[in-house]
Amino acid sequence: MFLLWLRVAAALYGLASLAALPAVLYGRKRWVKICVGAAIGGAFFHFVSLAEMLNASHHWIPAGMHEVQSLLALLIVLAFLLIALRYRTVSFGMFALPLALVLVLVPAIGPDKYTFTSPLIRNGWVMLHVAAVLAAYAGLIFSMLASLLYLLQERRIKSKRPASRLLPWLPPLETMDQIAHRTLLIGFHAMTIGLLSGCLIAQASMGSAYFHDPKVILSFGMWLLFVVLLIIRRSQGLRGRRAVYLSTLVFLVMISVWAANQFSSFHRFTTP
C-alpha cells in the first residue's frame, strides 16, 4: 500500500513543481496556491507512505537506499513549506520541489533492491544519526539555493531592471540572506548531532577501525567546511558570489559523502 501513497505523493510533487514555474516566474497567485496546496498534500501522503514503509519492515529508521531518499525528499519538502510559511515566498519551490520529485521517483517505481542488513538498524541512536545527517543535507541544500537566489536578485537590481517580468516574486536580498544563514546554522547543528551520534555508535560497536572509513572521513571534512562557512559568514558577512562558491563547495563534498556509500564498508547497502 505504501507504494501507492508514495506514487500519489510523487504525482502531487510533480504538480507542485509545475505550478511553481508560473508561480515563481510570473508571480501568478492562483498557481502559488496550487503549488503550496499540492506540496502539502504530497508531504502528507509521503509521510503516510514512509510510516507504512517503515512499519511494514518492522524498523523505525530508513534502512535502505529508497527509504533514505524518501526521507530526505520529505525533509526538503517540509523545509520548503516552513520557509514558505515563515518568509511568504515560494521561490525555493522552483528548485526544491523538482529535487524532492527526483528523489521520490525511484522509490515510487518499485521495491528497494539495496537494503542495509545490519542488526544495528533497530538501535535508536542510529535513527537519530540518520535523521540528523539527512536534516543537515536538507539544510545545506536550502542554504545553497538561498545563496543562488540572492545572487540572481542582486544581479537583477544591479542591472537596473528591477521590474523584470521574470521572477517578480524573488524575496528581498536580506530575507534571502537570513534564509541562507539560518538553514546553514540548522544544517550545522544537525550535522554535529549526526556525527556525534555516529561516533558513539561506531565506538561502542566496532571500535576505532570505523574512523578509517572514507565516508566517515569525508563527513568530518564536510563538518569542517560547515564550520569554515559559518565563521566566514559571521566575521565577513559572506554574501553574493562568494557565498555561492563556498556553499557549492560544501554541496559537492556532500554529494561525495552520499556517493561514498559505494566505498564504505560500514555504510554499504548490501544486497539481500
Partner 1 sequence: MSASTQLVLLGVNHKTAPIELREQLAIPAHRLAEATSQLLARPGIREAMILSTCNRVEILTTQDTAADTVDFLNQYLAIDPQLLRPHVYEYREQEAVRHLFRVASSLDSMVVGEPQILGQVKESYTVARSVGAVHSQLEKLLQCAFATAKKVRTETQIGSSSVSIASVAVDLAQKIFGSLEGKTVFLVGAGKMSELAARHLMQQGAGSILVANRTHDRALRIAESFHGKAILFEDLYSVADQADIIITSTGAPHAIFRPEHGQRFLQRRRNRPMFFIDIAVPRDVDPRMNELEGIFVYDIDDLQSVTASHMAERSREAEHAESIVTAEVERFQQRLQTLDVVPAIVGIQQSAEEIRQAELLRAHSRLQTLTPAQLAAVEAVTRGMMNKFLHMPLQALKTAAREGDAAKVEAICAVFEGGACAAHSVEAEAAAVKGTEAEKAGESRSDHEQVVAGRIEPEAGA
Contact residues toward partner 1 (CB under 8 A) are 153-154, 157-158, 160-163, 171-175, 235-242
- Smallest gap from residue 270 Cβ to partner 1 (A): 48
Closest approach of partner 1 to the CB of residue 81, in Å? 20
Q: Are 174 and 237 in contact (CB under 8 A)?
A: no
Tell me phi and psi for residue 215, to 5 degrees: -65, -35
Least CB distance from residue 139 to partner 1, whole Å? 22
Minimum CB separation of residue 264 from partner 1 in Å reads 39
CB of 29 to partner 1, least distance (A): 8
Helix axes 214-236, 240-259, angle to 10 degrees: 170
Three-state SS for 272?
coil
b vs e for 231-243, b when ≥16 Cβ sit within 10 Å of the residue's Cβ?
eebeeeebbeeeb
User: What DSSP line would sit under 123-171, residue for residue?
Assistant: -HHHHHHHHHHHHHHHHHHHHHHHHHHHHHHHHHHHTT-TT-SSSTTPP
State which residue, 181 or 215, has the beta carbon closest to partner 1: 181
Q: How far is the CB of 30 from partner 1 (least distance, A)?
A: 10
111 or 168: whose CB is closer to partner 1?
Answer: 168
Pick between residue 173 and residue 230 the one whose CB is nearest to partner 1.
Answer: 173
**Bridge partner list, 64:** 115
Q: Which is nearer to partner 1, 59 or 242 (CB)?
A: 242
Nearer to partner 1, 122 or 161 (CB): 161
Nearer to partner 1, 236 or 248 (CB): 236
Q: In 3-state terms, the chain is what percent helix, strand and coil (to 5)?
A: 80, 0, 20
State the DSSP H helix or E strand holding residue 112, giving kind and residue range, or none if neither: none
